[in-house]
Every structure is written in C-alpha cells, then in structure tokens.
C-alpha cells in the first residue's frame, strides 16, 4: 500500500477482514500520513498463522494464474495504443510494496501509544535494510513470474523529494529509493537492481497518484495483473472514493455486495483472476468509515491507560448527513483576490501604508513592495482549476474582496459569512452547494486596533447533531516564530493581543461540547511556536483552552511553487472538540505546474480530510 500509518480495527474486525481478503478493502492513498498504530493489527500480522496463510494463498493464486495471464492478451490498464498493439507488448505485473511485498509491522509496533505517525521514525525504518522481510509468498511468486517472462514493476507511495522531482524518472537523489532497492535486492526480488522497475511518489513530476504511474508502464507493457492491499493499487482515486461512499450508504461491505448491481460487486470478477488483494488490518481506507483509533501499538504497552485512550477515541465520532464518509475542509489565502477592474480602480486612488479596516482602499506600491497582485482572466482560470482539483467541501478564504470575488475562483459554490470590512482583504468561506450553514457574526475582537482582520464564523448543519463550527482567520503578519513577548518586534505584541481572543473562542466551543476548527493564515509557524513556553506560544494558549490538534503536526513542508523560499507552514487548520481525535489526512494542492509568469497566490490551498463513523441503517 503506502507508508501512511492509519489506526487499525479491533481484532475481531481484523478477523472479518481475513475472511473477506479475496476482495480486499477499499482504499485511497492519502497526500500525507496522520494516525496511530494499533495493538490488535500488529499482533494479528505478527502472530496469527491465519495472516500468513491468507497472504501466502494470495501469492500462490497469482503463481497459479501466470500461464493463463500470459496467454490471455488482456490489458488491465489501457494505453494510448490500439488494443491489438497492446496485446503484442511484453506482459507485466504491477505490485504495491508496503504490506503487499514488504512487511512493515515492526515499524507499526514501534509507534508510541497515542501518537500520530512520525515521519522521522518512518525514515529511520527505511534505512534498516537488514530488518525488513517479505510478506509470505511474495518472493517465490514474483520469481516465478520473472522466469515466465513477466516484467515486474513495484509502485509505492514511499516518497522522493517532490520539490526536486525530475521531468523524467527516476529521481536523481532519493534516499527512499536507495534504501528500498537495497531491501528488494537483499530479499532476492526480481528486477530489484533495475531503476526503472521501482516507481515511487515524487520520482517524476505528476506522480502523486498511482494511476499516472500505471499508465506510464502501460505505454510499453501489457499490464496482466495487479497486486496490492488497497483499492488505490487497482483503481483511480476518484473511483475508489466513490466505492467508499457507496459502502458508507449501505453500512457494510456485505450489504453493498448483496446488491449485484453495485460497483463493488461488479469488481468481484477481478478477485483472484487478475487482481490479487492482500489483507491489511493495520491501515487503509477501509477504516475511513470507522473514525480514528488510539490504541497500543506494541505488545508491552497493553495497559489500562492505553485501553482507556482507545475507548475515548472510539467514542469520538463524526457523523455526516446522508451517510457521507468524508468531510474535506480547507484554507486558502488568495492574495488580494478581486476583479481586475476593481483592483485597477482602487489602485488609482491608493493610500500610503496599509489602510485601516474601515477604509476601502489599496496601499500604494513602495520599495520593496510591488503593487498588489492583479489576477487576469487566465490567472483566475488557473486558480479555479486548482480549487476544483482540491475538491473541498468548505474552504476558509483570506484576502478575498467578498462574495463576488470568491465566485471568480469557486463557481458553483456558495460564498458565505464574509466579514463586514471595507478593506478588500476579507476573511470568509465558500461552501459546497447543498451544505446548510448559519453565519454567527464576525469575531470582531481579532481586529483590536481597527487595522487587523476580524474572523469569519460559520456553523455547518446548524441545529443538528452533526453541527460543526468553523472560524476563518488571518492573523497579524511579521512574528512568524519569535516569542510573542519579543520586545524588539512590535508586531509580536499585536499578534500576542489576538491570541487570547482565539483561545476564548476555542474555550467557549469546548465548554459547549461543539466540534470545531480554526482555519486560516496564522502567520505563525506553529511547529516552531509549539516548542515555546506558554506565555510566548500561540499553540500553548489554544491547548490550554481545549484539546486541539493541528493538521501540519509532524508533516514535512511542501513547496507551493518552484523556487519558493518558504520552508515552513504558516497556513494551518486547528481541529478541536470531537474533531481533534478523528482519523485525518493532510491535503495540499501545489501550483508547481503553473506558468512561471502566472499571477496566482503566494499561498497554496491546504486542507484536511476528516473521516466519518458510518451511519448504521
């Protein structure tokens, strides 16, 4: 599957997955890891003979099918070439790596109880070449495939540095590639020394999704079989997500597949024929219908405190209307977004310095600051494309001149709850059509001096058990990681004055038991801020007000555009109340493929997928 460590099910659910392993579990590879390992899953994969027998059985099924797969001439992944030409191409088998070919259960077992996935720990695991072993049956089956003339390709979401991804693979400097190839060679897997046989995320520009890598192989080979532990190893992301949603509406895999017309039932014909699905109870998109889990990840940590944490996590549920499985929240500072003619008219009568909130004006350009951004029709179309690519349900926006400007980039969405500010830089929201909401009035206290930006406050699904309160913020800029009490920087004092306002808002939500999130441009590197003592830390103030989690926690920074000078997130999403313990995945939409002269935004859209507990029929 991939390196993301998600929370696992209880042991009984793991056993149920074993029984259904010939069909596997629906899954989509996420942009970034964030969750906990689980005692039951680790124990099952390390100690249960049933796991070894099922895994070996799937690989044996592939080996038994090799003669028929070679004769059939069928291709699972279409290429641009005519079908008859595709049939004449050499046959290939594409396999996933983690929990399909390679057993990473020792890495899962090392995760401390109650902590999210640790990127540094995962990278250390990759270097431990001599401690990694193959999933039962994998080596023998793939060696047999190579002897029969099949080319074997390994597609994995182990990552190469995306910022330096080349136009043509392989990546020239990728530690994950070097370590992985060393493991494959040590285990005797075929084509391990061939750099073309291993295709990692970030190995080439545009290779975030596995679909692009499968299509790359299909240009030269006939894909005869796919092997993986996740639907993302077999289907495009959009199709996999649709399957997950269909299971959510039915409640269970069994109920879904009882309907012969269902898409999942139709896929059963592939199982054991040209799809070979390995069981993985440790992580995967199957759990996106079950919320998050906090549980012991090592056998020696199975104490009462861990059990209590697991129970608390199981009780934290996000229930979405209509049985939806995922809510995607996002934030985007859109850099002076307004119609070009509005910008030109305001700039013609600009004022010196940044105008106060009550004045509708733009600052005059002065060295070293250029005129405010001017987005022409081409720029707006590009930004709209990135917004569509994000596919967010709700976006907290900043530096947007009200509803009319928001619709330039989010056509079809509903602009909502923009603050009452004359200044063109406003906070607000855009909401997917059909989601009910209520505006709660501006958090005007953030604009304590008449020159800062108030917060926009919205409730989704108001008056229901699914209500979620959101706050869009754009805090004072200029004190990115200094102590808030830093006497040498007056901006820090202004940001420090905004902190108790945010903390009180979070405390009020926590006191009423609300699910809530604060989204926006914090103009603060919260990873560095979190290391500061309480008087100097925004994060410490929020944590004292309510249990909270930030979506960038333990996430490596991802550049927005080529040549960007920034090295840390200042945009963030802080989850509070029941949302803080949910299973979540970071979403980041870079604009690296935009023309260099495009005037877009100096920020990228940052989001989070929150995964829901299923609504039982």
DSSP 7: P
| Angular region, 286: left φ>0, alpha ψ -120 to 50, beta rest | alpha
Decide if 560 contacts 333 (C-beta within 8 A): no
Given this model, what pLDDT does residue 583 score?
75
Listed in sequence order, the residues at least 6 apart from 410 whose beta carbon sits closer than 8 Å to its beta carbon are: 384, 387, 395, 430
Whole-angstrom distance, CA of residue 151 vs CA of residue 278: 20
Does residue 352 carry a pLDDT above 50?
yes
In the predicted model, is pLDDT for residue 448 greater than 80? yes
Instruction: Identify which of 338, 350, 425, 95 has the alpha carbon closest to the alpha carbon of residue 229.
Output: 95
Cis peptide before 300 (omega within 30 of 0): no
Residue 591's pLDDT is what? Answer: 94
d(CA 78, CA 194): 24
Q: What is the pLDDT of residue 449?
A: 92
Closest CA to 285 of 331, 328, 248: 248
605-611 and 584-589 beta bridge pairing: antiparallel
3-state class (DSSP) for residue 471: strand
The residue with greater pLDDT, 322 or 458, is: 458
Q: In Å, how far are 28, 399, 400, 403 from 430, measured between CA atoms? A: 26, 13, 11, 8
* Token pair for 341: 């003619």
Band of residue 369 on the pLDDT scale cut at 50, 70, 90: confident
What pLDDT does residue 23 have?
29
Quote the mean pLDDT of the chain. 84
Of the candidates 403, 407, 397, 408, the residue with the CA atom closest to the CA atom of residue 374? 408
CB 525 within 8 A of CB 560: no
Lowest mean pLDDT among 17-26, 116-125, 208-217, 561-570: 17-26
C-alpha span between 473 and 211 (Å, rounded): 36
Per-residue confidence at 221, pLDDT binned at 50, 70, 90?
A: very high
For residues 416-430, average pLDDT: 98
Tokens 């090392």: give the residue: 110
Question: Helix (H) and strand (E) counts for the chain?
Answer: 19, 19
- Nearest partner of 416 among 370, 451, 462, 466, judged by Cα: 462
- Give pLDDT, residue 573: 98
User: Cα separation of 192 and 185, whole Å?
Assistant: 5
Mean pLDDT of 183-208: 93
Q: Is the dihedral of CA 235, 139, 12, 585 positive or negative?
A: negative
Confidence of residue 111 (pLDDT cuts 50, 70, 90): low
First to last CA, the chain: 31
Give the three-class secondary structure for 509: helix
**How big is the CA angle at 589 (ends 207 and 232), to the nearest 5 degrees?**
45
| Domain locations in the chain as residue ranges | 11-314, 325-336+376-611
Pick the CATH number of 11-314 from 3.50.50.60, 3.40.50.1000, 3.90.1140.10, 3.10.310.30: 3.40.50.1000
Instruction: State CA 330 to chain mean position distance.
Output: 11
> Average pLDDT, stretch 445-464?
95
Q: What angle do CA 446, 450, 453 make, to 5 degrees?
A: 40
pLDDT at 487: 86
CA dist 391 to 4, 33, 386, 432, Å? Answer: 21, 19, 9, 9
Residue 11 has pLDDT above 90, yes or no: no
pLDDT, residue 264, reads 87
Distance separating alpha carbons of residues 312 and 547, to the nearest angstrom: 13
- DSSP letter at 284 equals S
Q: Are 247 and 253 in contact (CB under 8 A)?
A: yes
pLDDT at 472 over 50: yes
Q: What gap in Å lies between CA 615 and CA 617, rounded to an integer?
A: 6
Residue 34 has pLDDT above 50, yes or no: no
Q: Is the pLDDT of residue 4 over 50?
A: no
Buried b (16+ CB within 10 A) or exposed e, 123-153: bebbeebeebbbbbbbbebbebbeeeebbbb
C-alpha distances (whole Å) from 560 to each of 232, 523, 590 are 25, 16, 5
Assess contact for 613 and 318: CB atoms under 8 A. yes
119: pLDDT strictly greater than 80: no
CATH architecture entry for 325-336+376-611: 4-Layer Sandwich (3.60)
CA distance 616 to 159: 37
Tell me the average pLDDT across 347-374. Answer: 93
Count the neighbouring beta carbons within 10 Å of the beta carbon of residue 271: 17
| Strands of the 275-277 sheet, one edge to the other | 198-201, 151-159, 91-96, 222-228, 275-277
The DSSP symbol for 481 reads S
Determine how β-strand 222-228 pairs with β-strand 91-96: parallel
**What's the pLDDT at 287?**
54
Q: Is 70 exceeded by the pLDDT of residue 557?
A: yes
The pLDDT of residue 547: 87
Question: pLDDT tens, 511-552?
Answer: 998 999 999 999 999 999 999 988 899 999 999 888 899 999
Which pLDDT score, from 0 to 100, does residue 263 have? 85
**Cα separation, 54 vs 259, whole angstroms:** 26
Residue 176 to residue 464: CA distance in whole angstroms:
46
Quickly state the pLDDT bin for 145 (edges 50, 70, 90): very high
Instruction: Find the range with the poorest average confidence among 84-98, 111-125, 233-247, 445-459.
Output: 111-125
- pLDDT at residue number 615: 29
| CA atoms within 13 A of residue 423's CA, in its CB half-sphere | 21
Q: Is residue 596 a contact partner of residue 562, using CB atoms and an 8 Å limit?
A: yes
Task: Please check whether residue 219 is in contact with residue 85, taking contact to mean a CB–CB distance below 8 angstroms.
Answer: no
CA distances from 616 to 156, 317, 335, 515 (A): 34, 13, 43, 21
Q: Please indicate whether residue 404 or residue 3 has the higher confidence score (pLDDT).
A: 404
Identify the band that residue 310 occupies on the pLDDT scale cut at 50, 70 and 90.
very low
CA dist 444 and 387 (Å) reads 28
Mean pLDDT in residue range 54-59: 97
């Amino acid at each position: 599957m991939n390196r993301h460590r998600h929370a696992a099910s209880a042991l009984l659910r793991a056993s149920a997955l074993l029984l259904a392993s010939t069909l596997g579990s629906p899954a989509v590879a996420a942009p970034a890891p964030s969750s906990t390992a689980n005692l039951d899953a680790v124990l099952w994969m390390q100690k249960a003979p049933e796991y070894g027998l099922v895994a070996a059985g799937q690989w044996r099924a592939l080996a038994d099918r090799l003669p028929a797969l070679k004769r059939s001439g069928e291709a699972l992944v279409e290429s641009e070439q005519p079908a008859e030409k595709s049939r004449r191409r050499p046959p290939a088998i594409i396999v996933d790596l983690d929990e399909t070919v390679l057993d990473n259960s020792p890495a899962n077992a090392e995760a401390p109880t109650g902590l999210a996935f640790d990127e540094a720990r995962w990278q250390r695991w990759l270097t431990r070449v001599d401690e990694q072993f193959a999933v039962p049956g994998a080596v023998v089956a793939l060696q047999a495939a190579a002897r029969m003339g099949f080319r074997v390709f390994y597609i994995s979401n182990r990552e190469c540095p995306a910022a330096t991804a080349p136009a043509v693979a392989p990546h020239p400097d990728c530690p994950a590639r070097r370590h992985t190839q060393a493991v494959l060679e040590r285990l005797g897997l075929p084509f391990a020394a061939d750099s073309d046989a291993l295709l990692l995320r970030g190995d080439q520009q545009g290779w975030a999704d596995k679909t692009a890598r499968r299509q790359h192989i299909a240009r030269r080979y006939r894909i005869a079989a796919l092997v993986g532990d996740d639907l993302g190893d077999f289907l495009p992301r959009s199709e996999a997500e649709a399957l997950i949603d269909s299971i959510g509406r039915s409640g269970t895999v069994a109920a879904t597949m009882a309907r012969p017309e269902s898409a999942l039932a139709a896929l059963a014909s592939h199982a054991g024929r040209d799809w070979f699905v390995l069981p993985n109870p440790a992580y995967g998109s199957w759990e996106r219908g079950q919320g998050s889990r906090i549980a012991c990840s090592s056998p020696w940590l199975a104490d009462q405190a861990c059990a209590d944490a697991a129970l608390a996590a199981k009780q934290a549920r996000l229930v979405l209307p209509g049985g939806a499985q995922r809510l995607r929240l996002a934030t985007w500072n859109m850099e002076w977004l307004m119609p070009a003619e509005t910008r030109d008219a305001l700039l013609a009568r600009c004022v010196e310095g940044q105008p106060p909130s009550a004045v509708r004006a733009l600052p005059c350009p002065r060295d070293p600051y250029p005129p405010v951004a001017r987005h022409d029709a081409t720029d707006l179309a590009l930004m709209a494309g990135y917004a569509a690519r994000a596919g967010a349900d709700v976006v907290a926006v900043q530096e947007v001149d009200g509803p009319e400007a928001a619709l330039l980039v989010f056509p079809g969405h509903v602009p909502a709850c923009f603050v009452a500010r004359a200044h063109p830089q406003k906070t607000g929201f855009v909401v997917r059509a059909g989601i009910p909401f209520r505006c709660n009035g501006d958090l005007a206290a953030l604009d304590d001096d008449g020159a800062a930006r108030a917060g926009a406050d919205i409730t989704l699904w108001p008056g229901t058990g699914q209500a979620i309160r959101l706050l869009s913020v754009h805090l004072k800029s200029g004190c990115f990681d200094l102590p808030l009490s830093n006497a040498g920087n007056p901006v820090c004092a202004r940001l420090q004055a905004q902190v108790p306002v945010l903390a009180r808002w979070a405390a009020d939500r926590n006191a009423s038991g609300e699910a809530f999130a604060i989204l926006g441009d914090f103009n603060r590197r919260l990873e560095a801020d979190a290391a500061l003592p309480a008087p100097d830390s925004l994060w410490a103030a929020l944590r004292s007000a309510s249990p909270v989690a930030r979506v960038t926690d333990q996430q490596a920074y991802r550049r927005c555009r080529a040549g960007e000078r920034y090295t840390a997130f200042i945009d963030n999403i802080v989850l509070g109340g029941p949302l803080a313990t949910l299973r979540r995945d970071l979403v980041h939409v870079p604009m690296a493929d935009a023309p260099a002269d495009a005037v877009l935004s100096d920020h990228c859209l940052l989001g989070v997928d929150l995964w829901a507990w299923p609504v039982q029929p």
